[in-house]
Structure 1
Amino acid sequence: MKYYAGLDVSVKETAICIIDETGKICRELKVTSHPDDLASTLNNQTYSLARVGLEAGPLSQWLFSGLAEAGLPAVCIETRHAKAFLKAQVNKTDRNDARGIAQMVRVNLFRPVHVKTLTSQKRRALLTARKLLQEKAIAIENDIRGLLRNFGLKVGIVRTIGFEARIRELIDGAPELGEIISPLLAAREKLRTEFAKLHQKVLDEVRDDGTCRRLMTIPGVGPVTSLAFVSTIDVPARFKNSRAVGPALGLTPVLNQSGESHRVGRVSLCGDGMMRALLYEAAQVMLSR
């Protein structure tokens, strides 16, 4: 007899539900959310697991890799499908969610999610950290502009490299204001310095990757966009053809058809939001320059 396991993952513990091919619950328990603990629990001679399902989330890549290395037939379930399926339950608990996920993998009512390779995960982490530092630095610059505007001091249009000099010029002769703005300038300088280091790492990654260099020959595509695209696609063979990439990135319209009604809506906005934003930016550059 085949058995199926559903895992509801949280930070500390994971609820596990094992059912047989008829849907009967065979075992329920909670285990520490660590691949080794989960693998030792699920690699039980009593139950020959045909599929182990877990919902996509922050820990799913780490847990999936550990379960796969242990020889378990793990599958990562698309979040929207899991939410729609589990929403039918009256009471939402970890145990009920694990039961629902187990039933999903038993009846095959789910869409598997591709789990990225370790290289792509590291590249994505690099891009995310780079973007975070950039956004924080820009936020501080905008806050400084707003604070000075209250005193009638207008920064105006100034490039990043000359921003601090312009601010120093404005607050010269106002020591009390300087005591407030100087710590912000110091924080901005630190963020910009660390951002430059991460940006250099991005350039180094792109320089050593032939696919990234080839993508950069396209007008509007720079090192960040090319590296993000390569890390997002990860394994090109997982797509049936090039036309399947658009829907995966949420760039195709939503269709709403019922009876005589047939409406083509906005793009679905599913998938990777960062990659979609970078592609929009690249397209805008291509059209305007």
Structure 2
Amino acid sequence: MDHYAGIDVSVQSSSVCVVDATGKIIREGKVASEGVALVEWFSMLGVKIVRVGLEAGPLSQWLYAHLRQAGLAVELLETRHVNNAFKTMPVKTDRKDARGIAELVRLGWFRPVHCKSIEAQETRAVLTARKLVQSKLHDVEMCLRGVLRNFGLKVGKTTPRDFPFRIKELVAGNPILEGIAEALLRAREALLREFNGFERQVRRMARANPRARLLMTTPSIGPLVSLTYASAIDDPSRFRSSKQVGPYFGLTPRKYQSGEIDINGRISKMGDDGVREALYQAAHVLLTRSIKGGALKSWAMRLAKRAGMQRAKAALARKLAVIMHRMLVDGKPFDFAAAAA
């Protein structure tokens, strides 16, 4: 008889449940969240496991790779779908979650999630670290501005290079503020140094990545956006059509239709926030700066006059996502004539 397994992953240990084709529980257990431990646990069962369900999460991709290498048919389950399926459960425990996941894979009521390649995960790790350092750098600068503003000292507009000199000029003569400024400026200098290091690394990675170089032939697409998009797509063949990329990144409108009610809402904003933000920034650059965009830019400008700049940016971001996916599939650089279609 066929059997199905569900794994609820936690940092230290994972709850595992195995059910048969009728839904009867065959085995439950608590296993260390290590690939070797899980593979050993399944090998000792002595039953045929048709499918293993694993909810997508921080450890899931690593465990997925171990289970796949061991020959187990593993599927990553979309977290949002799993959560919605479990909303009716009055009692939530790891044990019940594992059983619920086993039932989902037994019945086929799940949407599989693509497990990204190691290269894509490494790229995402660099981009995440860069964004964190950038955020903390901004926090330090805003903290300095806020502290000085309490004493009537206004920093005003400055360039990144002039910022520390302006701060020192304002706090001169006040020992307390001088001490605060000196400490925060040292922190800023360290963060700025690391951020510039990440910027150089991103440019090197983009130059070394054939897909990123291909995407950078698109107007307004630079190293950061190209790497962000390429690592999120990872395998272009997993989309049956390029048009599926728009909804995947949450760039298509929500829709609610019931009876005589038919409402088209704002974009869904589902999927990867970072990719959506990168595409939106690329659309903003294409619309607001003197960049050669051909018919693609003209189309977006006409839409902006009719529907407003914000909607035009969202629509252009969606169109860029579709075009770049087709470029990855075909392996061809940006075509100004084809982009107008």
TM tier, smaller: over 0.9
Query: C-alpha displacement at 1:64, in angstroms?
Result: 0.7
Q: In structure 2, the residue corresponding to 1:88 is in which secondary structure?
A: coil
Counterpart mapping for 1:85-234 below 5 A:
85-234=85-234
Contact map agreement 1:54 1:77 (CA 8 A) in 2: yes
Quick one: distance in 2 between partners of 1:211 and 1:95? Answer: 43
Q: In structure 1, the residue corresponding to 2:161 is in which secondary structure?
A: helix
Counterpart mapping for 1:9-88 below 5 A:
9-44=9-44, 46-88=46-88
- Letter paired with 2:171: I
Quick one: distance in 2 between partners of 1:45 and 1:83? Answer: 28
Quick one: distance in 1 between partners of 2:45 and 2:102? Answer: 19
- Letter paired with 2:192: R
1:223-243, Cα deviation, whole Å (9 max, x unpaired):
111110000000000011110
- Letter paired with 1:187: A
Q: Is residue 2:5 matched to residue 1:5?
A: yes
1:107-164, Cα deviation, whole Å (9 max, x unpaired):
0000000010000000000000000001101110011011111122111111112211
Quick one: distance in 1 between partners of 2:191 and 2:282? Answer: 25
CA-atom RMSD, angstroms? Answer: 1.0
Contact map agreement 1:43 1:72 (CA 8 A) in 2: no
- Letter paired with 1:32: A
Contact map agreement 2:78 2:112 (CA 8 A) in 1: yes
Q: In structure 2, the residue corresponding to 1:160 is in which secondary structure?
A: coil
Contact map agreement 1:133 1:191 (CA 8 A) in 2: yes
Quick one: distance in 2 between partners of 1:190 and 1:89? Answer: 49
Contact map agreement 2:168 2:181 (CA 8 A) in 1: no
1:29-86, Cα deviation, whole Å (9 max, x unpaired):
1000011100111124621000000111111111111111111101000011101111
Contact map agreement 2:4 2:18 (CA 8 A) in 1: yes
Find the counterpart in structure 1 of residue 324 from structure 2. none
Quick one: distance in 2 between partners of 1:72 and 1:26? Answer: 18
1:150-179, Cα deviation, whole Å (9 max, x unpaired):
122111111112211111122222232101
- Letter paired with 1:253: P
Q: In structure 2, the residue corresponding to 1:115 is in which secondary structure?
A: coil
Quick one: distance in 2 between partners of 1:100 and 1:210? Answer: 42
- Letter paired with 2:89: Q
Q: In structure 1, the residue corresponding to 2:28 is in which secondary structure?
A: strand
- Letter paired with 1:286: L
Query: C-alpha displacement at 1:5, in angstroms?
Result: 0.2
Find the counterpart in structure 2 of residue 257 from structure 1. 257
- Letter paired with 1:282: A
Shifted more, 264-273 versus 230-239: the winner is: 264-273
Find the counterpart in structure 1 of residue 236 from structure 2. 236
Quick one: distance in 1 between partners of 2:102 and 2:44? Answer: 17
Query: C-alpha displacement at 1:254, in angstroms?
Result: 1.4
Query: C-alpha displacement at 1:267, in angstroms?
Result: 1.1
Quick one: distance in 1 between partners of 2:57 and 2:211? Answer: 29
- Letter paired with 1:169: E
TM-score (norm 1): 0.98
Q: In structure 2, the residue corresponding to 1:217 is in which secondary structure?
A: coil
TM-score (norm 2): 0.83
- Letter paired with 1:161: R
| Paired residues, number | 289
Runs of 5+ in structure 2 lacking a partner? 290-341
Quick one: distance in 2 between partners of 1:256 and 1:223? Answer: 38
Quick one: distance in 1 between partners of 2:4 and 2:211? Answer: 40
Find the counterpart in structure 2 of residue 269 from structure 1. 269
Quick one: distance in 2 between partners of 1:240 and 1:215? Answer: 20
**Identity percentage of aligned residues:** 49
Quick one: distance in 1 between partners of 2:260 and 2:166? Answer: 62
Runs of 5+ in structure 1 lacking a partner? none
